[in-house]
Amino acid sequence: MGQFIDLTAADGFTFPAYVAQPAGPAKGGLVVLQEIFGVNSHIREVADGYAADGYAVVAPAIFHRVQAGVELGYAEADMKAGMGLKAAVEALPAPGVLADIQAAIAHAAQAGKVGIMGYCWGGLLSWRAACLLDGLSAAVSYYGGGMTSEAEAARQPKVPVLAHFGEQDHWIPLDSVEAFRRAQPGAEVHVYPANHGFNCDHRGAYDAAAAKLARERTLAFLAKHIG
């Protein structure tokens, strides 16, 4: 089990982050970026899981600049609230929440090399972090909403990237995933016979087989690039 601590971005903004430590020496650091539902129980479970695999995990509360203490479920009302909060964060003046993610990377770096991983909106932010931020050695994106747009696919990552998508994802059309794959031949892209949110066992879209395979690939990728 982890705990919340406070981190401070370069502009002086202080925000909470959930931190989970491995039982033994850390293999490296890992920043985990939330969906649009906050650092909720699922994201904390993800952080705890990767800590159990040997990583020092930091999950920053990236809604904090617009609203504190966000922890949503997965009902339609939660989805609507999360979409509104995401829009508010995306509207912040640059660098916006990327400053908070950079602070989380710096904290995770105490454990060695750092990877970043995100889900849905967090997957998009992981991609942006791979392209724009410093101190990373690898990036993983799960069904990064918006990441396959032409503007995002035109970015150039500084580090190796692993991306997981679901072929039944109505939020991320499969043709846009293929366009992303063509635009980013250096990225490792996998598509699963699953829907958006397939990794989250709190959602109806959960697909145990796809989640298991994606996690195995993620752990192998992290071991290769972080340790």
> Residues 95-128, buried b or exposed e (16+ Cβ, 10 A)?
bebbbbbbbbbbbbbebbbbbbbbbbbbbbbbbb
Nearest to 9 by CA among 19, 20, 17: 17
- Verify whether residue 134 is a known catalytic residue: no
- Verify whether residue 100 is a known catalytic residue: no
C-alpha 81/C-alpha 148 separation (Å) is 24
> Residues 189-217, buried b or exposed e (16+ Cβ, 10 A)?
bebbebbbbbbbeebebebeebbeebbee
C-alpha 169/C-alpha 188 separation (Å) is 19
Among 164, 196, 200, 225, the active-site one is 196
- Verify whether residue 64 is a known catalytic residue: no
Among 164, 169, 207, 225, the active-site one is 169
135: alpha, beta or left, given left = phi > 0 and alpha = psi -120 to 50? left
Query: Among all residues, which ones are annotated catalytic?
Result: 120, 169, 196
